[in-house]
Structure formats: structure tokens, C-alpha cells
Structure 1
Amino acid sequence: MTARSQAIEKPGWSDIPTDKKALWLQRKKRFNQNKPLLLMFIPIAVYFILFKYIPMFGLVIAFKDYNFADGIWGSPWVGLENYSYLFTNPQMTQIIRNTIMLSALTVLVGFPFPIILAILLNEVRKMWFKKSVQTLVYLPYFLNWIIVGGLVTMIFAQQSGIVNILIKKTTGEAYPFLFKEFSWIAIFVGSSIWKNAGWSAIIYLAALTGIDPSLYEAASMDGANKWRKIWHITLPGIRSTIVLMFILSIGHVMDIGFDQVYILQNPVVKNISEVISTWNYKVGLGSGEYSHGAALGLFESIIGLTMVLTANGIAKKFNQGLW
């Protein structure tokens, strides 16, 4: 007996409107088709529940004077005193400013590079050359920031760096790239682009495969050159993917990460390199001020969520929202 005939025999089934019956059967069919995918999703859901959602209960220490002896729930409640301490601390304004500045520069300057890289790779017709370039640009993503930081230091070190060796041969005097604020910021943003652009380009390359080739053929017949095709066909074809990636990147404006900043920073450029994540490590964990660290982390997350919602709200006005 088929699923449809079984469903029809259920009590009250004949009283249900035809359109609702069709919708119910359609949903049941879709559920049965997606059972393998749902089973594959279960380990992912368990991971996020155990390691992402359950630990959120620990955020309560942002409103407590936490100590190990009393534990999370036994520590005395202090309300907003931790936030009062943070935002009356003169250093905190500078730390938040540095976090926003470095993150915004990384997003705004680095965001177009994967798009450009994907378009350039998509235009390559020699497969051996395309695969070779793809391997070279994807490889940095799989390197740890400790390795990347070591490479950057080796290249730009004042005494023994490769760049300064060449500069000394021409000008006779080395330049302290890692000890000047402007050059440090440029190296920070540049190393982030070098490490991540290749991996992000994969997403845009996948989106480019969805563009109908007949559009390019029609454009060629109309006399359009390569740049016209990219501007009028390629970019509009991946516009939804670009908007999606931009909204996701906006959510990380306050979450600059820890590894890259901590490895590249030094006391000379502390005024522009001290960010929320490094402060949390040095003060929140290093000095045992767990409540202050949790309070600052919660503030960082709320700002990130607000920016994502704002960016998505703006995108929805152009019918390009994420949800």
C-alpha cells in the first residue's frame, strides 16, 4: 500500500482541503528524500550544541565577580559593574578603536581580492596553468598563523629581512617596517589578504559555474569585449554571492581574531596593535580577570550581531538579504 493511500485512509483525511493535502504530501516526500542529509547533519548539530550553545551559559560571569572557589553560579552578582569598569578605563577606548580599525581595513581592503582572483582564474583557458595558480594561492590558507607570522617577520625584519637587505644595497639604510605604525598596518592587512584570498575565491569560482555560457556567446555576437562581459554578465551573475559574503564578513568586524595580531604585534606599535582579543588574553586570562574578559567578549558579540542584522536589513531593500 502506498504512502498516499495510507494517508487517505486516516480518520478525518477526507475533511482536509485538497490544497492542504497536496502540501502535506509534498512536505512528507521532501522529508523522505532528505533523510540522508538530515542524518549527516546530526553530528554537526551535536557539535554546535555541545561546544557553541551550552558554553553560552557561562556568559553569566560577565555580570558576576567570578572566582574559582565559588564557581560560575556561586560567585557574587555585580550587575553592570564590570562594564562600568571597562568603559571608564581610558585604555579601553583605544582598544575598541584599534579592533574596529584593523577589522574594517581587512574587510574593506581585502574583500575585493577574492572576487578579482576568481574572475581572473575563470578567464584562464590553459588548465595546467590554472591548476598551478590555484594551488599556489590556496596553499597559504592551510598554513598556521605562526608559520605565516614567521615568514612575514623573516621578510620584513629590520636587520636580516629580505626586503631590508635589498633596501640597504640601494639606499644604505634599513627601514623598520614592523616598528612603524603605517607600515605595520599595511603588513597586517596584506598578510591577511595573502593568506585568505585564495580560499575565499573558491566560493566565487563555484558561483561563476552557475552563469549560463550562452550569455557570453550572445555578448560576443553583439561585439562586447572581455571587460564588458565581466561588468555586465560575470559580476551581476555572482551578485547574490558577493552580498552574502559581505554580510558574513561584516559580522567579523569586531572579531579580528587573536593569532595574527598577537604574532605580529610588538611593544613599539602597541598603540595600534592592541585589540580586544589580545587584551582578553593578557588581562582576562593572564591576570585572572575572567569577568572583565567575559564582559568585553559579550560586548564584542553584541556589536557583531548588530552589524550583521544592519547589513542584512540594507541588503533586503535590494532583494539580496541573507534571510
Structure 2
Amino acid sequence: METTLSRTNSSMLQVSEFILLGFPGLHEWQHWLSLPLTLLYLLALGANLLILITIYHDTALHQPMYQFLGVLAFVDIGLATTIIPKILAIFWFDKTISLSACFTQIYAIHIFMGMESGIFLCMAVDRYVAICCPLCYPTTVTKAFVIKFTLSMILRNGLLTIPVPVLAAQRHYCSKNKIDHCLCSNLGVTSLACDSITINKFYQLFLAWFMFGSDMGLVFTSYVFIIRSVLKLKSAEATSKALSTCSSHIILILFFYTAIVVVSVTHLARRKFPLIPVFLNVLHSLIPPALNPMVYALRTQELRVGFQKLFG
């Protein structure tokens, strides 16, 4: 009877913190990864701040396309800052994280990733109107349009992602508290729960299909119409100019959504190869913030001119 009672009491215990172990299989020397991660983080931070400052100071860049790019730079800074400082702290100082901080990180990651996808959709709509309906562009894509679209993305992602940390916080964590990951991922945390997580898995799947799936579908549909309109242009110069304005956007969109698909697929094989999905998950949260401003800076003449003006 005492044994049964002790088991009951132990099952009713609630853990007060989680332990983030870092990269699976690399625990002994993973602190050496802090150097490249720090360099990537500083690159992402500096490049995106440079984009924001350039767009703010150069009045020629006060156009919807670059205003959306400024919002994307702000989102990239938020995404990288949500993840990398905590990973570095895990490597060098303290591997523990409180339940509230873990659930907050889950929410922040979801909202920033959703915002990145949403801004890509806004930019695709901007290019669609500019190329397919050029006469309507000045009256359709205005400053009010940018503000409304951005606010709608903030509201959509802010509200739809609230149930993710709320449902995770409602689970009962009674025994296991070690997470073989560098960050608090929703399924990584809820897999430690002692009760059923069916509703968590269902809502995560719903969110992936409704948010990222719909954004991806609309983005690629927009570019189908854009490419079709571009191919109808009789002037080779006009075709080249239209494609050049979209090329940087297409590169980043393909990388972003391809990475999401790859991370999702590798997550299914996590039991056999635990390191791969964790490593890709971290890179997917860090590479886009560092890559986005460089691609736009290299392929957009107006931004290069803005940099030259900024540096005198």
C-alpha cells in the first residue's frame, strides 16, 4: 500500500523547470559551436539594422516594397534574438529554463515565424499588383495598404498562436524535464507530459496547414500569375527588369518554405537521427535573418544606392 501511495504522490508532482541539453550527441563539445552561432547572430543583427537605418534615412526607399522589407528586417531581428542568446547561455552558463520562460519562447518562435511567412505573402501581393496591374499600383498599394496588411498579419499570428503555449501549459509534467534540444519547441516540450497531448498535436498540425500552408499556396499562386504576365511582355528589357525586381524575393521564399518542409520531414525521423532535426531547426531560425538582407543588398540596386548615401 505504501508503494502504491508513493507512486501516486510521485505522479502528482509538477516539475518547476526544464533542462535544455542542447544538440543530441554533441553535449561534450557543443560549446565550441557558440562561436559560429555568435558570428551568425551578429551578422543577422548588423545586416538587418543596416537595412532598417538605410530605409529610414533614404526617402527614395519609402515605397511599399521596401517598407515591407523593413518589417521583415524587424521580424528577423526578433526571431534571432528570441533563440540565439538563450542557446549561448545553455552552452556556457545554465541549461535550465523556467516553465513560464519556455512557454513564452514557444509563443515568440511561432509568432515570428508566422510573421515572416505573412510578410513574404504581403511582398508577393505587392509584386503581383506592380507587375500584373501596373496602372492600379499607385492607388492600390498605398501607405494605408502597407499598414493594414502588416497589422492584419500581426493580429492573425498573435491570436492564432496563443493556444499553442496555453495548451502546452495545461499539460501535466510530472517526472521528465530534460529536453534534448537547444530551444523550447512545442512538440519537444509537450512530449514530456504525463497526460495526453493529442490536442496539442492536432492544433500544431492545424496551425501549420492553415497559416504556413495557406501563405505558401497564395505566394506561389501569385508568382504563377507574375511569371505568366512577364512572359507576355514583348520587350526583353522590360522582362529582365520585371524578373530582377522579383528574383531576390523568389530566392528567399524558396529557401524559407523549403526549409520548413525539410524540418517537418526530418522531425518524423527524429528517433533514428535525433541531431538532424534539432540542427536544422536552429539553422532555420538563424539563417533566414542573416540571409535575407544580404540577398536584397546584393540584388537590389536601390538598396545599394541607399547604402552608398548612408556611408557618405
Mark yes or no: TM-score above 0.5.
no
Q: TM-score, normalised by structure 1?
A: 0.27
Q: TM-score, normalised by structure 2?
A: 0.27
Greater C-alpha radius of gyration: 1
Structure number with greater CO (CA < 8 Å, separation at least 6) is 2
